[in-house]
Structure 1
């Protein structure tokens, strides 16, 4: 088939037809791995895709979560991958969490599910005090616990808008952490994912921000499962990881350097809470299986080819990465379409989708080659390429 390139040309491409087949791991994994999953909209619903609540396609959205669980992965639910604050409002996210937890409890593998709690049920202008932000977070945390999920205290635009110093963050997070009934996961999302989060933890300088959040972790270590960091800097994550108290996990959110971070340095390693794991689930699951079996060579052989794919999916502007993940789910038959809230599928150009197709094939991630080629052809024809 002919695929467009970034040079403005069309090049012939032949698929390798050597895909990995999704399956459950043969052994217990030695790393905790959460895949952060997206949502898709119902294309048959009468709606304005840019105004009001999205019309979620619940069947396709939940079906995709089962494909992750079937491969032994946990789920990070209702995070930025699911377009929180970018088309998905809190009421929709709450329904998503509740529906997901019903499905998870019935799944034979009893997967772990951690869910994002924020303050996005209110406009930022209405969250101008610490107490208001705490009350907003509390409402969402209680809903997650009522559904049976683990809490991820998401980085909040409202907190960043306060422009508070580290003491403000210590007070707010201290109250949130201590009121949770079980250990929580903290969340540090860099401003490359969301410009509104610049200066999080009370400091523009990342070294001072690290000191700030580490003070919070050390104070409440018994109530903290771990912290997810998405800064896309391997050395910074490794340095931060080395300072964590015993028993507190580092969940990497680095979609560029995850292979090395999860392997670790011989002393410490990262677990995973990654959007890219939803796109590369067969490689991720089988690589972690190989690691658990002591086969590091196979671990890198499986994950290495996924890194160029991840870098393409998460290219700048990074916040549009969700479209590539939904696109791959469609190519692989895990969903019948990739219509997204806010029309997010239109946030990337056809050349990007063509490159994702090439790199996914190279990483052995097009599990149904004939279906993937057919669907890629349909998308190309829609863009006038035959």
Structure 2
């Protein structure tokens, strides 16, 4: 088992990565301080792994909430469902929420934990590649709103993260590919050698070789843990983790949450960010092509959705949480393995890149 720590003083917590963690009773129980546990999952993951987790938590009073699968359900209605259930079933401040699922369940459960009785413990058990390498680590919790993605939420750290590699064996290919967009993002923004490692190991990754996946996931978590430890509330360097997300969130909001998977939208957004960087002479066209080719190797989109207008992008991008004084802020690569924050991007530059990377129907 690989273990690392997100170092945040009294809010520090471990990330454990191994096969079979859902059955590791001693390890799971170590991070629960009260007698009551509420497991939150969805109707796809629960039939696969809920009973296994409940057996491992057999020494506690167990409760469960099952949410319909999909990004469209990461909303205030689902949040209200969780609040009402926990109140009706008498959960107190000593209850622990365990999030069993992908990024939607993790974000929703974490936000519920942050708000219920002004904050109770929660544990992340991510079951998708995207949630294992990204959303389960760092304490960003939120729900979506029709006017913007993740606009209602809180920074709230889990007590522990348990990444069971075995859950990837039941993950659909499209969901696995979406997770690879976030993996590739780490190489582009922080580690050029890791980017090349992904190129060299793309077949083993696609074949879901267990040792290769463990190495890859641990490295991604290590990069994110280091960044979060330096900037928990995203006042500086943590914003780099949003590479591709400003364009990507616009795609998700405009197309309707869930029609494009988050990782798919981030993949297209990363190419847009790289192309904009090349137009600004920050990186070479060869670097843009390397990013594009690696995304294509995992069957990820490298253009935006057909027919989405420049105004459709800009309208959502103006609501981005990173913006300052009404100016659109973007994370752009300055080489593969490094990125920076840029303010005051000209509308003309954005429009040129969006139009050149919009799929034609």
Same fold (TM over 0.5): no
Q: TM-score, normalised by structure 2?
A: 0.34
* TM-score of the aligned structures, taking structure 1 as reference length: 0.32
